Amino acid sequence: MERIREVVGKLVQFLKDVELELKRISWPQLRETVRSTGAVILISAILTSFLGFVDFLFSLIIKYILS
- DSSP character at residue 25: -
> How many domains does the chain contain in total?
1
**pLDDT category, 67, cuts 50, 70, 90?**
confident
Host domain of residue 33: 2-66
Q: What percent of the chain has pLDDT over 90?
A: 94
Asked if 36 and 28 count as a contact pair (C-beta separation under 8 A), the reply is: yes
Look up the pTM and report it.
0.62
pLDDT value at 16 more than 90:
yes
